[in-house]
A and B are shown apart, each in its own frame.
Chain A
């Protein structure tokens, strides 16, 4: 079945790089996504990658996709305190007339000085 797993917690020092990992099970996923949720707020789309790509870079964010292993990662360079949030990985599969997104449980990133 469909499942997305990610570690629940990550702590990094300000200025270091953060790497958040995610694994998924549905090999027919068309897009994979990273969302950010700040306390008490909705989810904000950070970036996405098409399933036939290996890497996507957007300023401080780098997404790596290993389709063979069904592994997705998000690297945040020069992590700042404002990056502290919960990060959700999601896989998207188009079926039944809509883009069905399955989310992981979220990784809470804590940035300390």
Chain B
């Protein structure tokens, strides 16, 4: 069966420090991968998506970047964190063109607090 792992679960980082959040998927190949951010009391904002290795699309301009060095690995990064980067970050995957009917499967999320 397919599983998605996301870590760390909680992170407190000072302003100006770098960030690296990692997400891996098991039990499937060539998944579509997504990074979302959920600000306190707000909905989900799609940050990045990837349909293949090295293919990254950004939905909104921001202080973050994403990379997909391997088929089932998706990394969210920042060189210098801002206070406004605080939030709950969710990684998700979908089964590519044949996975439309099952939507996305989400990881357990990372709570990032920038201080």
Main secondary structure of the interface of A (DSSP, over half): strand
Number of A-B contacts (CB under 8 A): 67
Partner of B106, one of A43, A94, A96, A104: A43
Tell me the minimal C-beta distance from B49 to chain A in angstroms. 6
Give the A interface residue count (CB, 8 A).
26
A-B contact pairs, 20 of them (CB 8 A): A31-B100, A31-B103, A42-B90, A42-B106, A42-B108, A43-B44, A43-B90, A43-B106, A44-B106, A45-B103, A45-B104, A45-B105, A88-B43, A88-B44, A90-B103, A92-B103, A97-B32, A99-B104, A101-B103, A106-B44
Partner of B43, one of A33, A98, A103: A103
Q: Which residue of B lies closest to A99 (CB)?
A: B100
- Contact A98 to B51, CB < 8 A, known contacts A88-B43, A104-B43: yes
Interface residues of chain A, those whose CB is within 8 Å of chain B, are 30-31, 33, 35, 40-45, 48, 50, 88, 90, 92, 94, 96-101, 103-106
Give the B interface residue count (CB, 8 A).
26
